[in-house]
Amino acid sequence: MLDKITVAGVSVDTRHWIGGERVASSDTFTDVSPIDGSVLGEISRGTPAEVAAAVSAAKAAFPAWAATPRAERARILHAVADGVEKRLEELAVVETTDNGALLRSHRRGVMPRVAHNFRFFADWLLRLDHEDFATRGHTNHVSWDPAGPCVLITPWNAPLMLATWKVAPALAAGNTVVLKPAEWSPLTASLLADIAAAAGLPAGVLNVVQGYGSEIGDALTSHPGVRRISFTGSVPTARRIAASAAANLTPLSLELGGKSPLLVFADADLDLAVDLAVEQYDNAGQVCLAATRLLVEETVAEEFTRRFVEKAARLTQGDPRDEATDIGPTIHPRQLEKIDGFVRRATAAGARAVIGGHPRDGRYYAPTLLTDVAQDSEIVQEEVFGPVLTLQTFATEEEAVRLANDTRFGLAATVATGDRDRADRVTARLVAGTVWVNCFFVRDLQAPFGGSRLSGVGREGGTWSFDFYCDLKNTVTAPKGWQDHG
């Protein structure tokens, strides 16, 4: 096994990062690029032994990091952000090669957001405060105490951005971290370890363990030394994590799947609504927040569909490294097979593919729009996680809301309407953690983020992140009983 590989001209260490050192495993797993199926390298395949070592390192580093003054923690996190910005191009090309998302998106949006994640939570830490308040003359003081080692398990669709969405607040809060990246896209987590070390983050504060969740997941989530677990991924995996964490009552933050609706009312700007709908193909549909269920008022459905098909036809699907590409490959052949299975079962049950409905070149799935779908059908109820949208119509506002809420999920929703009063009425009734009106994917780190129902447990962002990653303490002080030492 090579300790380092070269990916898109960038040297990447294939070993774990534990206690400030590179640690190799006796076995490896193969990392393959979704762009062309080429082997990128053999990656250290973690075992419970590496997990135990990482948690031990995190525990050992915790007291000193927790005691580090806020201003110094913030300074180091800003230094990490500086390191990300210096290596932004390297991070972008490696992640595109590793997970197939658009290089232009990584350069212009995703990697800058990685740096922003560290800067935002560093700055928020310095303003984190709750005004003291009085109770019958006694003073109440609220404080956020670091909780301890945190296990962070992250997905493959936006590997580094979603990892640092968790890592940054956990570190800012004074915790130490064991990060487990997805096995389909592990490379930028390794680069992050290098960047953090160069920025002066003490040894053991950030640890990275690579491998398969089926082999090391339980060791991570059942460890009695772990005080917080944050996971982004599927509902079945979340259930296993919750069961594993239950023995130690380890607090969980779970950001899970979605089956989000886009409600298009007849009074909406139809061109805007079409733009929003076609935008759901972003990242080859591999976005948990994607509004994959188009719900269109029946009086404009025909015209909406015509404009949608026309605009979708202009999308370019191909190599994500090409600036002209709009849609890249599916992350893995297994995921492509899963997507195609959903579509084949839907069409066999009577759905009609207005566009797409098939793979392309073995690694790409054609942008697909299915109509004639029943509300209780699998394709409407279950998350596909690919470039597959369904279109249903409604006659009334009441029906639109009913259809929108009629799944097990509640991650997000999007509403297109020209009527402010309608927007207020509808958004108030939608079951979702985030609702966008006449826009999509506008995100601010100070806003609460998470899902309802099976879309997740808890909220992160701004103070909500610190509420999760800390033990909140209220200290009540009496006005009397002080001795005069003067």
pLDDT of residue 404: 98
Contact 339, 333 (CB under 8 A): no
**Gap between the Cα atoms of 431 and 451, Å rounded:** 9
Residue 386's φ and ψ, nearest 5 degrees, are -160, 180
Supply the DSSP string of 98-148, one letter for each residue: HH---HHHIIIIIHHHHHHHHHHHHHHHHH-----EEETTEEEEEEEEE--
Average pLDDT over residues 94-116: 97
183 annotated active-site? no
Average pLDDT over residues 70-83: 98
**Gap between the Cα atoms of 59 and 46, Å rounded:** 19
Q: Which long-range contacts (CB under 8 A, 24 or more apart) does 434-440 make?
A: 434/289, 436/412, 438/268, 438/269, 438/272, 438/276, 439/276, 439/414, 440/276, 440/279, 440/280, 440/291, 440/414
pLDDT of residue 34: 97
Percent over 70 (pLDDT), the chain: 100
Question: 261-437 architecture in CATH?
Answer: 3-Layer(aba) Sandwich (3.40)
Which of 50, 183, 255, 460 is catalytic? The answer is 255
For residue 486, pLDDT beyond 70:
no
* Alpha-helical regions (H) of 173-300: 187-198, 213-221, 235-246, 270-278
Sorted by where each begins, the domain ranges of the chain are 4-256+451-474, 261-437
Q: What one-letter code names the amino acid at 150? A: C
**Gap between the Cα atoms of 246 and 320, Å rounded:** 41
| 3-state SS, residue 377 | coil
460-481 pLDDT per residue, tens:
999 999 999 999 999 999 998 8
Looking only at the bridges linking them, the beta strands covering 412-416 and 434-437 are parallel
pTM of the model: 0.96
How far out from the chain centre does Cα 134 lie?
A: 40
* Alpha-helical regions (H) of 222-268: 235-246
Task: Take residue 383 and report the two structure tokens written for it.
Answer: 């998350």
How far out from the chain centre does Cα 36 lie?
A: 25
Average pLDDT over residues 29-54: 97
Q: Pick the closest to residue 102 from 324, 359, 363, 339 (CA basis).
A: 324
pLDDT of residue 91: 98
For residue 347, pLDDT beyond 70:
yes
Task: Take residue 138 and report the two structure tokens written for it.
Answer: 């006694």
| 3-state SS, residue 366 | coil
Q: What is the DSSP letter of 202?
A: P
Average pLDDT over residues 122-126: 98
Average pLDDT over residues 146-156: 97
Fold matches, 4-256+451-474 and 261-437: no
283-318 pLDDT per residue, tens:
999 999 999 999 999 999 999 999 999 999 999 999
Contact 369, 343 (CB under 8 A): no
CATH topology of domain 4-256+451-474: Aldehyde Dehydrogenase; Chain A, domain 1 (3.40.605)
Contact 106, 157 (CB under 8 A): no
pLDDT of residue 410: 97
| 3-state SS, residue 193 | helix
Stated as kind and residue range, the H or E segment containing 39 is strand 39-44
For residue 2, pLDDT beyond 90:
no
432-450 pLDDT per residue, tens:
999 999 999 999 999 999 9
For residue 1, pLDDT beyond 70:
no
Average pLDDT over residues 335-353: 97
Average pLDDT over residues 103-114: 97
